Protein backbone atom coordinates (compact mmCIF):
# COMPACT_ATOMS: atom_id res chain seq x y z
CA UNK A 1 0.00 0.00 0.00
CA UNK A 2 1.25 3.48 -0.75
CA UNK A 3 1.19 6.39 1.73
CA UNK A 4 -1.43 8.07 -0.48
CA UNK A 5 -3.51 4.90 -0.72
CA UNK A 6 -3.39 4.31 3.01
CA UNK A 7 -4.53 7.86 3.78
CA UNK A 8 -7.32 7.76 1.19
CA UNK A 9 -8.55 4.48 2.65
CA UNK A 10 -8.51 5.98 6.17
CA UNK A 11 -10.44 9.05 5.00
CA UNK A 12 -12.97 6.93 3.08
CA UNK A 13 -13.59 4.75 6.12
CA UNK A 14 -13.95 7.74 8.43
CA UNK A 15 -16.56 9.23 6.10
CA UNK A 16 -18.36 5.96 5.35
CA UNK A 17 -17.62 6.04 1.61
CA UNK A 18 -17.23 2.66 -0.06
CA UNK A 19 -14.56 1.98 -2.63
CA UNK A 20 -17.25 1.33 -5.28
CA UNK A 21 -19.09 4.58 -4.51
CA UNK A 22 -15.89 6.59 -4.60
CA UNK A 23 -14.72 4.98 -7.85
CA UNK A 24 -18.02 5.77 -9.54
CA UNK A 25 -17.92 9.39 -8.35
CA UNK A 26 -14.35 9.77 -9.62
CA UNK A 27 -15.10 8.12 -12.97
CA UNK A 28 -12.70 5.20 -12.46
CA UNK A 29 -13.30 1.51 -11.87
CA UNK A 30 -13.27 0.05 -8.37
CA UNK A 31 -10.44 -2.23 -9.52
CA UNK A 32 -8.33 0.78 -10.53
CA UNK A 33 -8.99 2.59 -7.25
CA UNK A 34 -8.17 -0.53 -5.26
CA UNK A 35 -4.94 -1.01 -7.24
CA UNK A 36 -4.04 2.64 -6.64
CA UNK A 37 -4.56 2.25 -2.90
CA UNK A 38 -2.49 -0.94 -2.80
CA UNK A 39 0.43 0.47 -4.78
CA UNK A 40 -0.19 -1.58 -7.89
CA UNK A 41 -0.74 1.53 -10.00
CA UNK A 42 1.53 4.51 -10.48
CA UNK A 43 1.23 7.91 -8.92
CA UNK A 44 -2.29 9.36 -9.18
CA UNK A 45 -2.94 12.25 -11.52
CA UNK A 46 -3.46 15.73 -10.16
CA UNK A 47 -7.08 15.62 -11.40
CA UNK A 48 -7.72 12.41 -9.48
CA UNK A 49 -6.15 13.84 -6.33
CA UNK A 50 -8.36 16.92 -6.62
CA UNK A 51 -11.40 14.68 -7.15
CA UNK A 52 -10.58 12.74 -3.99
CA UNK A 53 -10.12 15.97 -2.04
CA UNK A 54 -13.48 17.30 -3.25
CA UNK A 55 -15.38 14.03 -2.83
CA UNK A 56 -14.16 13.46 0.72
CA UNK A 57 -14.57 17.10 1.72
CA UNK A 58 -10.92 17.40 2.63
CA UNK A 59 -9.74 20.94 3.39
CA UNK A 60 -6.54 22.87 4.07
CA UNK A 61 -3.86 20.86 5.81
CA UNK A 62 -5.40 17.48 4.96
CA UNK A 63 -5.59 18.47 1.27
CA UNK A 64 -1.95 19.58 1.31
CA UNK A 65 -1.05 16.29 3.01
CA UNK A 66 -2.82 14.26 0.31
CA UNK A 67 -0.98 16.12 -2.46
CA UNK A 68 2.35 15.58 -0.67
CA UNK A 69 1.60 11.90 -0.05
CA UNK A 70 0.69 11.41 -3.70
CA UNK A 71 4.06 12.85 -4.68
CA UNK A 72 5.70 10.27 -2.38
CA UNK A 73 3.63 7.32 -3.57
CA UNK A 74 5.44 5.99 -6.61
CA UNK A 75 5.26 2.23 -6.02
CA UNK A 76 8.26 1.56 -8.28
CA UNK A 77 10.80 4.30 -7.84
CA UNK A 78 14.05 4.71 -9.76
CA UNK A 79 17.00 6.36 -8.07
CA UNK A 80 19.48 7.99 -10.46
CA UNK A 81 22.86 8.20 -8.76
CA UNK A 82 24.81 9.13 -11.90
CA UNK A 83 27.23 11.88 -11.02
CA UNK A 84 26.91 11.34 -7.28
CA UNK A 85 29.50 9.96 -4.91
CA UNK A 86 30.07 6.18 -5.01
CA UNK A 87 28.66 6.04 -1.48
CA UNK A 88 25.30 7.34 -2.78
CA UNK A 89 25.16 4.53 -5.34
CA UNK A 90 26.06 2.00 -2.68
CA UNK A 91 23.36 3.26 -0.30
CA UNK A 92 20.71 3.33 -3.05
CA UNK A 93 21.51 -0.23 -4.10
CA UNK A 94 21.63 -1.55 -0.55
CA UNK A 95 18.29 0.06 0.18
CA UNK A 96 16.76 -1.51 -2.94
CA UNK A 97 18.06 -4.93 -1.91
CA UNK A 98 17.19 -4.77 1.77
CA UNK A 99 14.10 -2.58 2.15
CA UNK A 100 11.73 -5.55 2.26
CA UNK A 101 13.57 -6.91 5.29
CA UNK A 102 13.55 -3.70 7.33
CA UNK A 103 11.20 -3.47 10.26
CA UNK A 104 9.03 -0.51 11.26
CA UNK A 105 11.62 0.88 13.68
CA UNK A 106 14.40 0.69 11.10
CA UNK A 107 12.24 2.37 8.46
CA UNK A 108 11.31 5.09 10.95
CA UNK A 109 15.00 5.65 11.72
CA UNK A 110 15.83 6.00 8.01
CA UNK A 111 12.92 8.38 7.56
CA UNK A 112 14.15 10.47 10.52
CA UNK A 113 17.57 10.80 8.87
CA UNK A 114 15.95 11.94 5.62
CA UNK A 115 13.62 14.35 7.47
CA UNK A 116 16.61 15.86 9.28
CA UNK A 117 18.48 16.33 5.97
CA UNK A 118 15.40 17.99 4.45
CA UNK A 119 15.10 20.38 7.38
CA UNK A 120 18.78 21.36 7.03
CA UNK A 121 18.10 22.22 3.40
CA UNK A 122 14.89 24.08 4.25
CA UNK A 123 12.59 21.56 2.56
CA UNK A 124 10.71 20.24 5.58
* Closest of 77, 75, 61 to residue 6, by C-alpha: 75
CATH assignment of 3-71?
A: 1.10.260.40
Q: What residues does each domain of the chain span? A: 3-71, 86-120
What's the CA gap between 99 and 93, in Å, rounded?
A: 10
pLDDT score recorded for residue 76: 83
Mean pLDDT, residues 100-117: 95
If pLDDT is split at 50, 70 and 90, which confidence band does 107 have? very high
Alpha-carbon distance 20 to 10, whole Å? 15
Q: Which of 18-32, 33-47, 85-99 has the lowest mean pLDDT?
A: 33-47
pTM of the entire structure? 0.74
Cβ-based neighbours of 65, under 8 Å, separated by 6 or more: 7
What is residue 124's predicted lDDT score, i.e. its pLDDT? 56
pLDDT at residue number 77: 85
Amino acid sequence: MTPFGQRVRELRAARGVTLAKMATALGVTPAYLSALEHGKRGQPTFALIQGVIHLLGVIWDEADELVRLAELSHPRITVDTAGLAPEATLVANRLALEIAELGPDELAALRAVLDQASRRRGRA
